[in-house]
Structure 1
């Protein structure tokens, strides 16, 4: 090395050190200044070396992060020496690389002709990505410009092939490195949602095939770069791993109060990049599918298909105001979010139940236009939230879409304190908010075990909500859960149950693993806390969902057996009470009038009423939803199946129902059915049409099965959510002294009650009365059965009926 080169190197090193330690200089300005300083030094070095070696036809090109002008303190210098000269360029390269190495700087270098660079890019996706950010530093600028133009043209021409490769590369890296937004010691560059993914989004945009949602994306990338700068300066190493022992120092360097604040900022940035990646890759897939199908579409149009009819065929209704289009849930053309405050939740629930992503345009329109929900929420809003939570895994991306646009904290303001909050516990694999959503996902698979799946799902979503406050999170969460329950429209009794579940969500597992279960005091203490078996079964399911959502170390066969033992002992110590038998209730004056008219006319008689608002102290399961339909019809075999089938044909969703028999005029029993229904797409049928179809169903002239099958064929649905299997059980003998109580817990779906009715008819039992309720996406139904002699079924016969009904539903 000549004295002048050495002196220039020392000057560069001193200026670099001053820049890195200068007060008030950080972030993008420092990275840009460091890149400019390095450009000047390398340009002088290269120009002098070319003069001394007599080399012509060369260019020094910065690529990758250096090409973007983003040099962190310990970043590699990614350099390409480009040449088209016949003379050797090795002497020039040596005079460039050795001074860089002598200063201890990391160097990633290559020497290529334009043709070699282009061929290498075609063979190596990583090289091609680096060249997309090529920037001229020194030498022949025309060489650099020509290479940039060629590489960009190749990238755009090869995008249909290259972008799927890039997506696969991103997915493999995410599988290895995990989610940046949940890791306690994340890799800022390689983990999903990190700097590599941000670079991939730039590459997609450069293809002109699709683009990422830009709002907040640059700020997120800048935040991660700033954090990496601080990491490099604190550790003195070229690392991207945010280790626990260094987080407090890095937080201080970034003027943040503590390591939790640092991680929360990092998580927020990573989520923004992850969400943008999800949206962008969906758009890429959509565009590529459209390109592949163009010849086929032209052929179809040539055979008489019109563009308008083709577009219409692609829009499949999902819910009122929501349709499926091109693999996403989007708002219907007639949807008016400014007039429909429940639409955000309805759209989210419909998307999750169908296993579809909620489109970016839909979420942003909802965030911008939807009116706030009244407090307390209307019953439909709460039902849609429960339907969303009950969708299982497919609820997660939909929830993340709502959260990305600020809709979650608008719906539940207390969510803000747990959003992106890290968990300082290696057992936990998620942040607090993501853990709560995951707990709801796990709870959705346990809803068949409990009589109130709505309370289970809500408790799962709220059980750690107190972690955003100082003190014991269970105590703080109890207060918050009570307030949130009231906000979303639960009655006072349900709100107290939810508060109790949140307050004691650790009670069962802590007691089962830390106390002597043979000590009567242990069982007595738990029994006093949970109060009744209904709450006990909810708490047991919540405990399991919480553990499964935490991570593999939190749940095991041993823990499950201890919990089951404790629950069995506590259940034995509690007074279970009786399940209410709807046959005990006297008919109202209107019900009696309808029953008398049905007995005299021997045909169906019905009345439709808009529901009254629920009483403020009422519980959720007692609220009427939509419209109340009263139906009286002479009792006959298959009545329940026929009536439920007609309602399904008219797209009426049964939210709750009571069935019982009366004999108002001594001429034989009349079945009274009190339905609470809501219209699937908003429009209620005319009472006359409904009555006519009921009459046809009862006289056998309406083929309900065929009509339902035709409707399903006309509106094919994707697979969507795979719910837990149905569970059909016989309630304990003390539940009713006059009937056998069959309990059905299943995923609600059009025609479900019709199928249950058909299965019961096939068993030749008599449904004396029934209590039907739909909680979110879950049906929880009780049927009071008697045999031909009017008595409860013998145990063996009851078990056989339960097995047959469950088999029919599966």
Structure 2
């Protein structure tokens, strides 16, 4: 009788989590494969079953593949043996990664294929001849070290490509626990890099072990719950996974997951930066000279460091000068520099003009500022500058509209705003106001009201005067005003334009809100900003600007609808349909429900209505105008 794999007892034992679960499941599979080997008459010498990859590491999650090699000595027949082992595995519904090769053939493939080379780094004997498994492991390790420079270079490229494709575990609403930046695969890559001669800095090994357990536990529970090979933690699964892991609620769980992933990502980024530097070689590094940057700061070998004589304990602005230099050069900050900056003297309150200028310049650097803030926050250097950050750090926004955690969303939005400074009179207020627009989230009460109250404390502490503080509060209070009004209200209505003009109160604030709206939307998610929304917001801003510049509301809302041509058509008192480019005009006898019926017909025929207007004439005729976009 063919041996069966019984996993149900273990799967139902929710006290077994993370690495402990994976180890027990791997042991069960080991025993099962050994029974299959014996049942198939597998020999004690000349052939061996070897676990590789995740199974070789004894890290089988509920939905993991089983990766095994059937190794054999030349002239040994193993075809029947292979079938006797593979088919029972397939019958269990388990995905099998398998190969039947000699040790020599496997090593030849590993010499030129990264996936094979990394797989055999975790080769582990399961059944049969242990000498074959040992030979593969020893020679595979030697081969890996001999080709270490090539593999480090190729892994570096792969790591960056994987991050770009899968995003970040720490900050995404629905993270990829395995392939995302800060996920399990990053730790595997770190381990492989260590086998190639790289080493972690003091404290990093312990940090990633603890963080790895958090991410691995989440993956185990996700797959245990869904019964699928799934690595993306969907929003709909987060409550159940959180409960299974014993967290009070999903927000607490996702924050813990984010914190763990940030640690892994930080260590990974640090190691691969040093790997790239080592691949350059000492000769190339010696040709580079330190580049002087801001006072007390230099750029050295592509990273930012403290200049000779710089004393953080006596210079409260040194952290910000290092940050600005790193953002301007899109460079990492040296680890020893970060350690020394922990001694920094705190900023005086209120901030000086220099401190405020440096803070603004950090975000005016654009996209690189995001990683600089992340680095400072990871090393405990950001919260002393911005104490309110502690409440929003790694805090999830668990709705399908937002893709990032609150802290990352604010950084992304502020970085986006740097590209829009040509629209505004005050670039400093734009980047700071954008950074603060959601600062009230994560606290009791309406986040906008809370944010306005917090800014009343934050802005003066940063050295902004009363007038600037009021503008920053207005940006927070009305950060949703333009987007909501443009997409939900009639922009040809006098009341709509008057309401926005009265709320905004000044052209300066209107321009700031216009740029904030785009920066915020782009940081929110792909569905939050598009050409249609951009056009509507632009129309609203133009009309409100006309009023705030002294023009009349009537002039601002005069769209010329109906046109003289359309009035002539109405006078004919007959049903008329005109279609020109993306615009459809329908004229028909007026009756209740006409507008909704026409809109419904357009939708049924694959047309999305982007803009619509209606007019009822005195002669009982109706005019409806639609701007549409095809769904095909």
Report the TM range for the smaller structure's normalisation.
0.7 to 0.9
CA shift for structure 1 position 415 = 1.7
Distance 2:84 2:519 in 1: 63
Q: Which residue of 2 aligns with 1:248?
A: 239
Q: Specify which of 270, 278, 283 is matched with residue 274 of structure 2.
A: 283
Q: Which residue of 2 aligns with 1:740?
A: none
Which structure 2 residues correspond to residues 239-318 of structure 1 after superposition, within 5 A?
A: 239-290=230-281, 293=283, 314-318=289-293
**Larger deviation, residues 230-239 vs 18-27:** 18-27
What is the match of residue 583 of structure 1?
none
Match of 1:109 among 98, 109, 112: 98
- Paired with 2:102 and 2:538, the residues of 1 have a C-alpha distance of 71
Deviation at 1:456, TM superposition (A): 1.1
Quickly say closer, same or farther: Cα 1:30–1:427, change in 2 above 3 A.
closer
- Give how far 1:402 is off: 1.4
Residue aligning to 2:528: 554
Give yes or no for the alignment of 1:444 onto 2:433: no
Cα distance in structure 1, aligned partners of 2:537 and 2:253? 37
Larger radius of gyration: 1
> CA shift at 1:85, angstroms?
5.6
**Normalising by the residue count of structure 2, what TM-score does the alignment of the two structures yield?**
0.80
Q: Does 1:137 align with 2:107?
A: no
**CA offset at residue 112 of structure 1?**
2.0
Per-residue CA deviation, residues 202-226 of structure 1 (Å, 9 max, x unaligned), is: 1111100454743532222221211
In 2, are the aligned partners of 1:58 and 1:85 still within 8 Å (CA)?
Answer: no
How much does 1:147 deviate?
1.9
Please tell me whether the aligned partners of residues 338 and 369 of structure 1 are also in contact (alpha carbons under 8 angstroms). yes
2:304 matches 1:329: yes
Once residues 17 and 520 of structure 1 are traced to their aligned partners in structure 2, the CA distance between those partners, rounded to angstroms, is 67
Q: 2:78 aligns with which of 61, 86, 89?
A: 89
Aligned to 1:75: 64
Q: CA deviation at 1:314?
A: 1.5
Cross-structure match for 2:20 = 29
1:424/1:26 CA distance change after superposition, 3 Å: closer
> Offset of 1:235 from its aligned partner?
1.1
Name 2:609's counterpart in structure 1: none
1:156 counterpart SS class: helix
With over 3 angstroms needed to count, the CA separation of the structure-2 counterparts of 1:90 and 1:566, relative to structure 1, is closer
Counterpart in the other structure of 2:321 = 346
Task: Say if 1:371 and 1:201 are closer, same or farther in 2 by CA, change over 3 A.
Answer: same
SS in 1 for 2:160: helix
Instruction: Decide whether the 8 Å contact of 2:46 with 2:76 is kept in 1.
Output: no
SS of the aligned residue for 1:411 comes to: coil
Structure 2: distance between partners of 1:491 and 1:339: 27
Q: Where do residues 258-657 of structure 1 align in structure 2 (5 Å cutoff)?
A: 258-290=249-281, 293=283, 314-366=289-341, 368-574=342-548
Give per-residue Cα distances to partners, 1:265-299, cap 9 Å, x unaligned. Answer: 333333333333322222111101116x47xx8xx
- Within the alignment, does 1:231 sit opposite 2:222 as a pair? yes
Equivalent pair of 1:82/1:114 in contact (CA under 8 Å): yes
Runs of 5+ unmatched residues, structure 1? 298-309, 577-810
Q: Write the distance in 2 (CA, Å) between the matches of 1:215 and 1:410.
A: 26
1:55/1:89 contact within 8 Å kept: no
Match of 1:19 among 10, 21, 29: 10
Which stretch shifts more, 239-248 or 499-508? 239-248
Q: Which runs of 5+ in 2 are unaligned?
A: 551-632
How far apart, in 2, do the equivalents of 1:37 and 1:569 lie? Answer: 70
TM-superposed deviation, 1:120: 1.5
Deviation at 1:360, TM superposition (A): 3.2
Deviations 1:11-37 (A, max 9, x none): x51xx4323323533222222222233
2:142 to 148, 153, 161: 153
Separation of aligned partners in 2, 1:558 and 1:39 = 58
Figure out how many residues of one structure are paired with residues of the other and give that number.
Answer: 548
Cα distance change on mapping 1:241 and 1:575 into 2, 3 Å: closer
Instruction: Report the Cα distance in structure 1 between the residues aligned to 2:399 and 2:149, rounded to whole angstroms.
Output: 44
Q: 1:104 to 1:374 in 2, by over 3 A?
A: same
TM alignment of 1:181-220, pairs within 5 A: 181-211=170-200, 213-214=204-205, 216-220=207-211
2: CA distance between counterparts of 1:146 and 1:332? 51
Structure 1 counterpart of 2:594: none
Quick one: distance in 2 between partners of 1:401 and 1:221? 19
**Partner deviation per Cα, 1:513-555 (whole Å, 9 max, x = no partner):** 3334444443443333333333232222222322233344333
Superimposed CA distance per residue, residues 740-796 of structure 1 (whole angstroms, 9 cap, x where no aligned partner):
xxxxxxxxxxxxxxxxxxxxxxxxxxxxxxxxxxxxxxxxxxxxxxxxxxxxxxxxx
| Counterparts in 2 of 1:151 and 1:53: CA distance versus 1, 3 Å | closer
C-alpha distance in structure 2 between counterparts of 1:324 and 1:571, whole Å: 45
**Secondary structure in 2 matching 1:466:** coil
Give the whole-Å Cα distance in 1 for the aligned partners of 2:26 and 2:423.
62
**Does the 8 A contact of 2:186 with 2:268 survive in 1?**
yes
Whole-angstrom CA distance in 1 between matches of 2:335 and 2:46: 49
Report the aligned-residue RMSD. Answer: 2.7
User: Would you say the 8 A contact 1:55–1:92 is kept in 2?
Assistant: no
Q: Report how far residue 489 of structure 1 moved.
A: 2.7
1:392 Cα offset (Å): 0.8
Q: What CA distance in whole angstroms lies between the structure 1 residues aligned with 2:457 and 2:534?
A: 32
**Residues 148 and 196, structure 2, Cα contact 8 Å, conserved in 1:** yes
| In 2: Cα distance, 1:342 partner to 1:112 partner | 62
Q: Which residue of 2 aligns with 1:791?
A: none
- Tell me, yes or no, if the aligned pair for 1:429 and 1:550 is still in contact at 8 Å: yes
- Per-residue CA deviations over 1:333-354 (Å, capped at 9, x if unaligned) read 3222222232111100111122
Would you say the 8 A contact 2:218–2:241 is kept in 1? yes
Q: Quote the residue 1:170 is aligned against.
A: 159
User: Whole-Å Cα distance in 2 between the matches of residues 55 and 557 of structure 1?
Assistant: 68
Equivalent position of 2:612 in the other structure? none
Q: Which residue of 1 aligns with 2:109?
A: 120
Task: Tell whether the 8 Å contact from 1:55 to 1:87 is kept in structure 2 after alignment.
Answer: no
Secondary structure of residue in 1 paired with 2:314 = coil
Asked if the contact 1:209/1:287 (under 8 Å) is kept, the reply is no
Structure 1 consecutive aligned stretches of length 4 or more whose deviation exceeds 6 Å:
none
Give the drift of 1:58. Answer: 3.0
TM-score, normalised by the number of residues in structure 1: 0.63
Equivalent residue number for residue 785 of structure 1:
none
Give the alignment of 1:731-770 within 5 angstroms. none
Q: Find the aligned partners of 1:551 and 1:98 in 2 and give their Cα distance.
A: 45
Q: Distance in 2 between matches of 1:135 and 1:334?
A: 53
Q: Secondary structure at the match of 1:251?
A: helix
Deviation at 1:54, TM superposition (A): 4.6
Q: Is the 8 A contact 2:14 2:244 kept in 1?
A: no
Contact 1:193–1:271 (8 Å) recurs in 2: yes
- Secondary structure at the aligned position of 1:382 is classed as helix
CA contact (8 A) 2:305 2:333 kept: yes
1:376 positional shift = 3.0
